[in-house]
Amino acid sequence: MNLELNEEQTAVRQLARDFVAREITPHVVAWDRAEEVDRGIVKKLGEVGFLGLTVDEEYGGSGGDHLAYCLVTEELGRGDSSVRGIVSVSLGLVAKTIAAWGSEEQKRRWLPGLTAGDYVGCFGLTEPGTGSDAGNLATHAVRDGGDYVINGTKMFITNGTWADVVLLFARSTDAPGHKGVSAFLVPTDTPGLTRRTIHGKLGLRGQATAELVLEDVRVPASAMLGEEGKGFSVAMSALAKGRMSVAAGCVGLAQAALDVAVKYAGEREQFGRTIAHHQLVQELISDIAVDVDAARLLTWRVADLIDRGQPFATESSKAKLFASEAAVRAANNALQVFGGYGYIDEYPAGKLLRDARVMTLYEGTSQIQKLVIGRALTGVSAF
Ligand code: FAD
């Protein structure tokens, strides 16, 4: 793998840095306190091309390779994990999955709006009764003439209350295939679909996380994404790439922890000199730095594998596992550098820790990533 960024990759990273400095950083604390990111950010992300990365220009995408996608995701995660998550879901889990699995009609219907930021997408897999055991989901879709009628509840859906379309996973009645799960593209204004915002999150407060309830939601059979009964493969393929995106966001978050810790250590004085002079403070900082580098290298390797058409799912789980745990450690170490000031939200470390904490939980918990990696190494499924 060539670790040197090419001109295009360097330019897109700078574009992302400038965007974050201009459009995100000045608002981060206010959005976190208000529990809502300004929705106008979605259109701005679309205009600058960040919602169309890796998607063909023919469908409104901005092209680019997966390393460029990682670089942008990293910078967004460095700025605000709530905004990063909006992109990781709307582009990473929804638009990219439509691009990979969709019919021509579905691509033309959804991709230009999603990549432009005119539409927001959400990914509806988790349910109140099934999280890690996602394949056991209970939402069901019953064929009725040319339609499917869907009933069920989805939990913790990122972008849920904002979304125009949900990529929804349901057990379809007569599917002969893998676990009988099928994927559907359901417009959120379809009668019978209601949404409830989940408040009181520890972190990612700016994100619109929702519970979706579907009561006799009727969609045409043409709303099915991929073949009937292949929905679990659709979900797993989306998550394999999605985990790289979460990992990249974690690298950005850990980098932000390093940035603020180094700056503060150079300013704060105790025992007659800045705390950067104290060896144990340097230990905290160097631990963050090593975590950042290791997480970044694991993540870039996944991007490189995808761009070269190589298998990447296990490496993506490794990157997500390591980077998410590293982000929590990095933010916690940064908070320690800030002392008591780290505990109040006028200073950035506390938010970084709150935002980092969920990264080891969603898109497969750390335990689930270990089972994925263990299965690949031993050939034995321990799920
Ligand atoms: P459980 O599955 O109940 O797990 C509880 C504990 O048991 C965990 O520690 C887990 O690791 C452990 N465990 C479970 N099974 C095993 C096993 N076999 N071996 C060892 N340990 C095990 N979902 C979506 O579909 N779309 C979204 O957009 C989305 N966004 C989210 C945003 C936020 C802020 C949050 C908090 C969650 C989001 N999720 C989303 C859901 C998320 O993916 C799930 O919370 C996650 O998969 C874990 O499921 P669970 O919460 O039901 O925990």
pLDDT in tens, 161-184: 999 999 999 998 765 544 589 999
Average pLDDT over the chain, rounded to whole?
A: 96
Give the number of other Cβ atoms within 10 Å of residue 110's Cβ: 25
Q: Which CATH number fits domain 123-229: 2.40.10.10, 1.10.10.60, 3.40.50.300, 2.40.110.10?
A: 2.40.110.10
For the chain, give the percent of residues with pLDDT over 70: 98
DSSP string for 317-360: HHHHHHHHHHHHHHHHHHHHHHGGGGGSTTSSHHHHHHHHHGGG
- Residue with CA nearest ligand 1 atom 50: 131
Look at residue 236 and tell me whether its pLDDT is greater than 50: yes
In this predicted structure, what is the pLDDT of residue 252? 98
Report whether residue 367 contacts ligand 1, using a CB cutoff of 6 Å: yes
- Residue with CA nearest ligand 1 atom 31: 156
Every domain of the chain and the residues it spans: 7-120, 123-229, 232-378
In this predicted structure, what is the pLDDT of residue 154? 98
CATH 3.30.420.40 fits 232-378, yes or no: no
Q: How confident is the model at residue 2 (pLDDT cuts 50, 70, 90)?
A: confident
**ipTM greater than 0.90:** yes
What is the CA(63)–ligand 1 centre distance, in A?
32
Q: Which CATH number fits domain 7-120: 1.10.4010.10, 1.10.287.130, 3.30.420.10, 1.10.540.10?
A: 1.10.540.10
Report whether residue 158 contacts ligand 1, using a CB cutoff of 6 Å: yes
Report whether residue 210 contacts ligand 1, using a CB cutoff of 6 Å: no
- Residue with CA nearest ligand 1 atom 48: 131
What is the CA(360)–ligand 1 centre distance, in A?
9
When mean pLDDT is compared across 76-80, 144-148, 212-216, the lowest value belongs to 144-148
What is the CA(221)–ligand 1 centre distance, in A?
30
Strands 224-225 and 181-187: antiparallel
Strands 165-172 and 273-274: unpaired
What is the CA(354)–ligand 1 centre distance, in A?
17
In this predicted structure, what is the pLDDT of residue 339? 98
In this predicted structure, what is the pLDDT of residue 1? 79
pLDDT in tens, 345-359: 999 999 999 999 999
In this predicted structure, what is the pLDDT of residue 195? 98
